[in-house]
Structure 1
Amino acid sequence: MLTDDVKTEIQSAYSKFLSQKDYKSRYGQRQMIAEFARYLGGIESDSKGTRKSKHKVCVVEAGTGTGKTLGYCISAIPLALNHNKKLIISTATTALQEQIVSKDLPDIVKNSGLKFKFALAKGRGRYLCLSKLEAQMADDGSEQESLPLFMMDNGLGSPDYKPLYQTMFAAYANQQWDGDRDKWPDNIETKAWSLITTDNQQCSNRRCSYFHSCSYYESRKLLEDADVVVANHDLILADLSLGGGVVLPAPDESIYVFDEAHHLADKALGHFAVHSPLKGCQTWLKQAAKLFAELLPYIKPSSRLRATVEEISTITRPIHTEIDDLYLRMEQSLDWDSSEDRYGQRPSPTGQQRDNQVLYRFSEGVVPDELKSIASELLKLFISLCRLVDEVNNDIIRSMDEKSDASLSKEDGERWFPVIGSTLSRVQSYQDLWRFFSTDDVKGQPPSARWALKKIFDNHEDIELYGSPLMADSLLYSRLWSKCYAALLTSATLTSLGNFNRLTNKSGLPDDSVYLSVTSPFNYSEVATLRLPSMKSDPGNSAAHTEELIELFPDFIKEQQGTLALFSSRKQMNDVLAGLPEELRAQTITQDDMSKQEVIKEHKRKIDDGDTSIIFGLASFAEGIDLPGEYLTNVLIAKIPFAVPNDPIEAGLSEWIESRGGNPFMEITVPEASTKLIQACGRLLRSEGDYGQVTLFDSRLVTRRYGKMILDSLPPFQRKYE
Structure 2
Amino acid sequence: MLSDRLKDAIRTTYRQLAEALPGFVPRREQNFLVAEIAKTLSGDYERSRRILVAEAGTGIGKSLSYAQGAIPLARLQQKKLIISTATVALQEQLIHKDLPFFLRHSAVPFRFMLVKGRQRYCCEHLLEQAAMGDGGSNLEFAFEQLSTSRPSEDDKSLYKKLWDHYTAGKWDGDRDNWPSPIKDMAWERIAADRHTCNKALTHHQHCPFHRARDKMDESDVLVVNHALLLSDLTMGGGIILPPPDECFYVLDEAHHLPTVARDHGAAFIHLGGSRRWLEKLAQSAGKIGRALPGESLLDAQLKLQDALAAILPDLKATEQWIGQHPQLFGSERQHRFPDGDLPEPLPLLALNLRESSKQALRALDRLQGGVAEALREGDLKRRDAEPLLAEAGFFLQRLENFNQLWELMSREVAPGKTPLARWLSRTEDGQDVLVHASPIEVGYLLEEWLWSKCLGAVLVSATLTALSNFDYFRHQAGLKPHDGTRYLRLRSPFDYDKAELYLPKMRCEPNDPQFTQELIERLPGLLADQQASLVLFSSYRQMNEVAEGLRTHGLTLLVQGEASRSALLTLHRQRCDGGTPSVLLGTGSFSEGLDLPGHYLTNLIITKLPFAVPTSPVEEATAEWIEKRGGNPFLQVTVPEASRKLIQACGRLIRKEADAGRVTILDRRLVTKRYGKPLLDALPPFRRRIE
TM-score (norm: length of structure 1): 0.90
Aligned to 1:67: 61
Aligned to 1:240: 233
Aligned to 2:586: 617
- Output the CA distance in 2 between the equivalents of 1:593 and 1:17: 42
Aligned to 2:8: 8
- Output the CA distance in 1 between the equivalents of 2:179 and 2:427: 40
- Output the CA distance in 1 between the equivalents of 2:554 and 2:195: 53
Aligned to 1:260: 253
| 2:127 is the counterpart of 1:157 | no
What do residues 124-160 of structure 1 show as CA deviations (whole Å, max 9, x unaligned)? 1121221221232233789997135443368743222
Amino acid aligned to 2:426: K
Larger mean CA deviation between 95-104 and 636-645 belongs to 636-645
Amino acid aligned to 1:320: L
Alignment of 1:114-153 (within 5 A): 114-139=108-133, 146-147=140-141, 149-152=143-146
Alignment of 1:552-631 (within 5 A): 552-582=522-552, 587-631=556-600
- Output the CA distance in 2 between the equivalents of 1:443 and 1:332: 30
Amino acid aligned to 1:200: R
Q: Tell me the secondary structure at the aligned position of residue 474 of structure 1.
A: helix
Unpaired runs of at least 5, structure 1: 45-51, 339-354
Change (3 A) 1:149 1:309: farther
What do residues 555-608 of structure 1 show as CA deviations (whole Å, max 9, x unaligned)? 1112222222211111111111111134655x3222212332332223223333
- Output the CA distance in 2 between the equivalents of 1:17 and 1:94: 25
What do residues 380-429 of structure 1 show as CA deviations (whole Å, max 9, x unaligned)? 3222322331222121121122166xxx4444223321221121121121
- Output the CA distance in 2 between the equivalents of 1:612 and 1:132: 54
Q: Tell me the secondary structure at the aligned position of residue 622 of structure 2.
A: helix
- Output the CA distance in 2 between the equivalents of 1:421 and 1:208: 18
Aligned to 1:431: 403
Is the 1:151–1:419 Cα contact (8 Å) retained in structure 2? no
Aligned to 1:538: 509
Change (3 A) 1:43 1:334: farther
Following TM superposition, by how much is the alpha carbon of 1:191 offset from its aligned partner in structure 2, in angstroms? 2.3
Change (3 A) 1:287 1:559: farther
Q: Tell me the secondary structure at the aligned position of residue 434 of structure 2.
A: strand
- Output the CA distance in 2 between the equivalents of 1:668 and 1:707: 15
Q: Tell me the secondary structure at the aligned position of residue 15 of structure 2.
A: helix
Amino acid aligned to 2:348: S
Picking from 70, 77, 83, the partner of 2:71 is 77
Picking from 362, 370, 374, the partner of 1:399 is 374
Aligned to 1:644: 613
- Output the CA distance in 2 between the equivalents of 1:520 and 1:258: 20
- Output the CA distance in 1 between the equivalents of 2:108 and 2:671: 51
Aligned to 1:101: 95
Following TM superposition, by how much is the alpha carbon of 1:276 offset from its aligned partner in structure 2, in angstroms? 0.9
Picking from 435, 441, 454, the partner of 1:484 is 454
TM-score (norm: length of structure 2): 0.94
- Output the CA distance in 2 between the equivalents of 1:145 and 1:243: 32
Is the 1:565–1:635 Cα contact (8 Å) retained in structure 2? yes
Aligned residues: 688
Aligned-pair identity in percent equals 40
Amino acid aligned to 1:80: A
Q: Tell me the secondary structure at the aligned position of residue 414 of structure 1.
A: helix
Aligned to 1:323: 315
Following TM superposition, by how much is the alpha carbon of 1:533 offset from its aligned partner in structure 2, in angstroms? 1.6
Larger mean CA deviation between 313-322 and 174-183 belongs to 313-322
Amino acid aligned to 1:327: E
| 2:328 is the counterpart of 1:358 | no
Picking from 672, 675, 693, the partner of 2:641 is 672
Is the 1:399–1:410 Cα contact (8 Å) retained in structure 2? no
Aligned to 2:27: 26
- Output the CA distance in 2 between the equivalents of 1:8 and 1:522: 29
Change (3 A) 1:210 1:425: closer
- Output the CA distance in 2 between the equivalents of 1:185 and 1:416: 33
Is the 1:154–1:195 Cα contact (8 Å) retained in structure 2? no
Change (3 A) 1:114 1:687: farther
- Output the CA distance in 1 between the equivalents of 2:627 and 2:102: 49
Amino acid aligned to 2:631: G
Is the 1:122–1:235 Cα contact (8 Å) retained in structure 2? yes
Q: Tell me the secondary structure at the aligned position of residue 441 of structure 2.
A: coil
- Output the CA distance in 1 between the equivalents of 2:620 and 2:51: 30
Aligned to 1:341: none
Aligned to 2:363: 388
Change (3 A) 1:680 1:264: same
Is the 2:130–2:139 Cα contact (8 Å) retained in structure 1? no
Amino acid aligned to 2:538: S
- Output the CA distance in 1 between the equivalents of 2:421 and 2:258: 16
- Output the CA distance in 2 between the equivalents of 1:452 and 1:221: 43
Q: Tell me the secondary structure at the aligned position of residue 60 of structure 1.
A: strand
- Output the CA distance in 1 between the equivalents of 2:106 and 2:361: 53
Q: Tell me the secondary structure at the aligned position of residue 204 of structure 1.
A: coil
Larger mean CA deviation between 224-233 and 148-157 belongs to 148-157
Q: Tell me the secondary structure at the aligned position of residue 477 of structure 1.
A: helix
Following TM superposition, by how much is the alpha carbon of 1:315 offset from its aligned partner in structure 2, in angstroms? 4.7
Q: Tell me the secondary structure at the aligned position of residue 328 of structure 2.
A: coil
Q: Tell me the secondary structure at the aligned position of residue 216 of structure 1.
A: helix
Following TM superposition, by how much is the alpha carbon of 1:547 offset from its aligned partner in structure 2, in angstroms? 1.0
- Output the CA distance in 1 between the equivalents of 2:557 and 2:638: 31
Amino acid aligned to 1:513: T
Picking from 523, 531, 540, the partner of 2:495 is 523
Following TM superposition, by how much is the alpha carbon of 1:257 offset from its aligned partner in structure 2, in angstroms? 0.5
Aligned to 2:104: 110
- Output the CA distance in 2 between the equivalents of 1:145 and 1:551: 61
Change (3 A) 1:360 1:332: same
What do residues 596-630 of structure 1 show as CA deviations (whole Å, max 9, x unaligned)? 23322232233333333222222211111111111
Change (3 A) 1:315 1:84: closer
Following TM superposition, by how much is the alpha carbon of 1:264 offset from its aligned partner in structure 2, in angstroms? 0.6
- Output the CA distance in 1 between the equivalents of 2:217 and 2:116: 14
What do residues 427-447 of structure 1 show as CA deviations (whole Å, max 9, x unaligned)? 121111112112211333211
Aligned to 1:344: none
User: Alpha carbon RMSD of aligned pairs, Å?
Assistant: 2.4
| 2:500 is the counterpart of 1:508 | no
Is the 1:468–1:649 Cα contact (8 Å) retained in structure 2? yes
Following TM superposition, by how much is the alpha carbon of 1:512 offset from its aligned partner in structure 2, in angstroms? 1.8
Is the 1:152–1:419 Cα contact (8 Å) retained in structure 2? no
Change (3 A) 1:109 1:299: closer
Aligned to 1:342: none
Following TM superposition, by how much is the alpha carbon of 1:102 offset from its aligned partner in structure 2, in angstroms? 0.7
Aligned to 2:434: 464
Following TM superposition, by how much is the alpha carbon of 1:275 offset from its aligned partner in structure 2, in angstroms? 0.4
Following TM superposition, by how much is the alpha carbon of 1:4 offset from its aligned partner in structure 2, in angstroms? 2.5
Following TM superposition, by how much is the alpha carbon of 1:38 offset from its aligned partner in structure 2, in angstroms? 1.9
Unpaired runs of at least 5, structure 2: none
Following TM superposition, by how much is the alpha carbon of 1:314 offset from its aligned partner in structure 2, in angstroms? 5.9
- Output the CA distance in 2 between the equivalents of 1:30 and 1:535: 44
Picking from 627, 633, 644, the partner of 1:658 is 627
Following TM superposition, by how much is the alpha carbon of 1:219 offset from its aligned partner in structure 2, in angstroms? 1.8
- Output the CA distance in 2 between the equivalents of 1:311 and 1:111: 60
- Output the CA distance in 1 between the equivalents of 2:26 and 2:307: 68
